[in-house]
Amino acid sequence: MAPKPTAPPAIHAGKVASDSPMDAEFKTIREIFAEQNLQPPSLNVLVPDAQFYETLAIQPGGEIATRPDFVGHANQREAASQFSAFLRLALEKDCDLVLSPEYSCPWQVLTNAIANQCLPQAGKVWILGCEAITRDKLLAVIAAHTDVVWIHEPIPEHAAGFLDVLAYVTKGKTRTNSTKHVVVLQFKTQAMGGDTYERDHLICGRAIYVWHNPQDNIRLISLICSDTLVFDDAAAGQCRFDLHPYVIFHPQLIADPHHIDISSYRHRLFGQAVSERTEVVTLNWARGFTLPAKPPALYGGSAVYTKAPQFESCDARLEANHKKGLFYTYWHERRTKLCIFSFNQHVFHYRTPKTMQSVGAVLAQRTGPEMLSLRHWDAHTGSWKDSSSSDDGFATLCDEFQEQGCDYCLCDPHTTVDRERLLTLSAGKLRPARDWHEVGHMDSFTTYPDERSKRLTFTHEQAQASDDFRRQHLARYIKLQMSVLPNPAHFPPPIQDLIGDWRLQPPSAASGFRFNLISRSGRVQGATVMFLGLVSDDFVQRLMDDLLRAWDKPEEMRRLVIWYESPNAIRCLHPPLFSITDGIELPASITRSASS
């Protein structure tokens, strides 16, 4: 029998890994590099300057195979082709941070990159969630590639099963200033209890590596999927979230990334006063991935979490990101901006300001992530091709209603933010405030407490509450356009000049974001119209009163009409016909509106 392979080049960091989960031990990169007489790299992502850093992240899809000795792609040939192209793209773009989720990168792809010296330049780091591997196979890989320095914690001799490995690929320098390629291997520390393939076969590690530059400012750690189940940021004294800004990478392979136990670390982190300097990147597999004997996953769920104080939320930025597969929401419970990636299989290329900027105040602008390109897999060319735009699912949702001739304003010049304003106003779902139209004040841009999106024009989130929220807006909008407005009898006196001369379109700055009904001919003034569905008279009156108090300009109130359903008919409410410009001190004085 051939002897088992050994791996002299590898050094060991931390205590021996265990077959059962243990408390994680956080080890700084400085100490484990020093054990090999290496200087840790200075990574661009961790330099606290005013420059951007660029990230390339792959969200793979497909069928996943699980065995006692393996978790990874069922179609190895396709996976090797996709990940080889991904790493070629990483070299071409020279990205600072290159990411793949848990169990995704084939070892063959990584070893080919090592053998061909196709590895990141100085200042860059690849963090690759690798397919599961047995102890013996991992040692064989290390023994076969002695031209790089391998660093990992010891693996017990008797260990059976597989390791879930996160590979950090970067460059370090020796004491004589020569450059060495380094691969640091971090092993998952906590098996996912509900998945028997991990529960029964995972070899658990213990070390979690804390990355920082020689000047210890920004820090980076990675938590592999269910590592977060036992991660206690308050007890992790080595991390010192109170002293250092952090980038946290959370690679996953999970059907429900919003599960309360998996996501609770984010609730704790972003609930702390120091969380403004913490940013989290979660990266899962694409929706539709399959595990044996389980239905296709509904997620996705990859995202960037940030409290960037100068976050750019103007329409132009949100629209540009939206078209490239990055969808903005606001996690109100934690005052955190949540930028969700398209759930589909893609490669995402984006740039982000540093989470700490040790520069003059005039230069410090943490504006959040900006998507540079979105790429889809082209099997014919074996490459990741630029996508002209992402599929947000909104047009498909509209088609499900099968209302021929209904105009959802899907075309230019209207943007996705325009469409959200149109649906919000038309359905009467707005907050009664002068600035209701701002993204920060619209409910559709606010997540549920468990982080699930309510976006109207991004429909990948299929949780029942999210789906109901979108469909209620669309149902009211369709009823308004297809049933209420085509009937002249429904027009009350204040807007009868729009009969036969109307069109619904998103409210704009020209009308103070008030009018969603305009004159096709342009001969008469527009109007604000809503349809609320089946609600009580009192509910409609309260909404009218609240709007009139908030919209205190006469020209905004005169042409406001709310339609709603009663058990027997469609009714409407509008301000009185007499002049509202003379001698009126309070909007409330005119809220006893006429109904017809």
Average pLDDT of the segment spanning 87-114 = 98
Confidence (pLDDT) at 234 = 60
User: Minimum mean pLDDT among 13-27, 533-547, 553-567: which range?
Assistant: 13-27
Confidence (pLDDT) at 233 = 66
Indicate the pLDDT class of residue 21, thresholds 50, 70 and 90.
very low
Indicate the pLDDT class of residue 579, thresholds 50, 70 and 90.
very low
Helix (H) or strand (E) holding 182: strand 179-187
What is the amino acid identity at position 303? Answer: A
Q: Phi, psi (5° rounding) for residue 317?
A: -65, -45
Domains and CATH numbers, the chain: 11-386 (3.60.110.10), 395-595 (no CATH)
Specify the length of the chain in residues.
596
Confidence (pLDDT) at 402 = 87
Q: What is the dihedral of CA 301, 306, 310, 311, to 10 degrees?
A: 0
Question: Is the confidence at residue 9, as pLDDT, over 60?
Answer: no
- Please list, residue by residue across 485-519, b when 16 or more beta carbons sit within 10 angstroms of its beta carbon and e when fewer do: beeeebbbebbebbeeebbbbbbbeebebbbbbbb
Output the CA torsion sign for 500, 501, 506, 509. Answer: negative
Output the CA torsion sign for 53, 44, 47, 26. Answer: positive
CA dist 140 and 311 (Å) reads 47
User: Minimum mean pLDDT among 249-253, 343-347, 364-368, 589-593: which range?
Assistant: 589-593
Question: Is the confidence at residue 118, as pLDDT, over 80?
Answer: yes
Higher pLDDT, 568 or 351: 351
Confidence (pLDDT) at 174 = 87
Confidence (pLDDT) at 404 = 85
- Show the DSSP H helices in 388-518 as ranges: 394-400, 416-426, 464-479
**By CB neighbour count within 10 A (0-12 exposed, 13-18 middle, 19+ buried), where does 82 fall?**
buried
Higher pLDDT, 575 or 18: 575
CA dist 451 and 495 (Å) reads 41
Confidence (pLDDT) at 403 = 87
Confidence (pLDDT) at 477 = 98
Indicate the pLDDT class of residue 236, thresholds 50, 70 and 90.
low
Question: Is the confidence at residue 504, as pLDDT, over 80?
Answer: yes
Helix (H) or strand (E) holding 109: helix 107-115
Question: Is the confidence at residue 2, as pLDDT, over 60?
Answer: no
Question: Is the confidence at residue 367, as pLDDT, over 80?
Answer: yes
